Chains A and B, each alone.
Chain A
């Protein structure tokens, strides 16, 4: 903990020095260890919107994950149950796992939800766009940290 505070400060300073939008249209972020400590949007997400996004099929989360969503009959079991996410991971760890899980494990089947480079043959409708927007990522992160056993 003693080491992570200055690193987070450094990350914030680096972010402040960067342009608000990168050449690929995405917001800049800094990975510190296995986390992105600072919000992609600079503000906290909305947990209620985050939950609504997760149970929406088009977000793709529950195709593979299950979780405490009794209203959703069709959930996946290819990936860990999302219950207890807030116990297992910090906000910054969850953010990196959503933004670019492949950064931590290149063999993962979890898509990188906030990445447009290093992909091949992306369909016209989706080309150059991340799966989720920075705002959507922050909303989902805000919800996942509330999932405590």
Chain B
């Protein structure tokens, strides 16, 4: 009996020790785990493939769409002014919907409510381009998501999802990205999972992709059922990760291996 009590106490201690979040001073962007070539590619706008989507987004910003025949610029004018700092606060609380909305979700709400246009598909060239263009206006600014008190329960849900074991491999995000970052998984460094540069250009994808795409890939990696694009769970995970990265600088469009 004493033996089992000891085991239980040891297990509880191990659980407590592992559940710790990364201290502020130790937080690192995925950028810092990359080799010099990938860093150079991100740093040089003429070499960063993500800038192609940003340029597309700049053109789309001016294009009229929907039965309202309005462009983004018709309401928001110059994105370089009106969108500055916006992405750093996303996902944001939508009072009408009573839930958090990520940047892609916001763009699609704008389309349906104001342009009277059909929503753009997740991972479509147009949605990635507009999202990248809006987010690029906050490049270098500190992430400040999760402020709104209405978001608190959703941040908590995201954290719960982050620490919930799932899939055939029975792993939680936290097992790798809180507890084992900077160790090697099949030779590649495990990052902290700080979402500082989305949408970003992933060399593995040969494309720009959203944070939701990345999360789905990780979830499939642990052999769990990936949440659908736009599902509440993915937005809650995005929100938790952005609040966890509070104060870190936005890098969109980042480059990652």
Residue of B nearest to A106 (CB): B11
Closest to A60 in B: B169
A111 touches B183 (CB 8 A): no
Q: Number of A residues whose C-beta is below 8 Å from B?
A: 28
Give chain B residues whose Cβ lies under 8 Å from the Cβ of A63. 185-186
* A75 in complex: contacting residue of B167, B169, B186, CB < 8 Å: B186
Confirm or deny: A123 has a beta carbon within 8 angstroms of a beta carbon on chain B: yes
Contact indicator A78/B183 (Cβ below 8 Å): yes
B171 within 8 Å of A by Cβ?
yes
**Majority secondary structure, A binding face:** loop
- Residue contact A120 to B165, C-beta cutoff 8 Å: yes
Q: Which of B14, B164, B183 contacts A105 (CB 8 A)?
A: B14
Name the distance in Å between A31's Cβ and chain B's nearest Cβ.
14
Q: Complex: how many Å from CA A124 to CA B167?
A: 10
In this assembly, does A3 line the interface, its C-beta being within 8 Å of a C-beta of chain B?
no
Q: What is the total of A-B residue contacts with beta carbons within 8 Å?
A: 78
Within 8 A of B (CB), among A58-103: 60, 62-64, 73-78, 102
CA distance A25 to B14 in the complex (A): 33
Q: Does B112 contact A (CB under 8 A)?
A: no
User: CB distance B225 to A124 under 8 Å?
Assistant: yes
Query: B223, A62: Cβ atoms under 8 Å?
Result: no
Closest B residue to A118 by beta carbon equals B170
Question: Known contacts being A63-B186, A76-B186, A111-B169, is A121 close to B224, with CB within 8 Å?
Answer: yes
Identify A107's interface contact among B11, B168, B171, B188, CB under 8 A.
B11
Q: Are A107 and B224 in contact (CB under 8 A)?
A: no
Residues of B that sit less than 8 Å from A by CB: 11, 14-15, 18, 164-171, 175-176, 179-180, 183-188, 190, 220, 223-226
Residues of chain A whose beta carbon lies under 8 Å from any beta carbon of chain B: 57, 60, 62-64, 73-78, 102, 105-107, 109, 111-112, 119-126, 129, 131
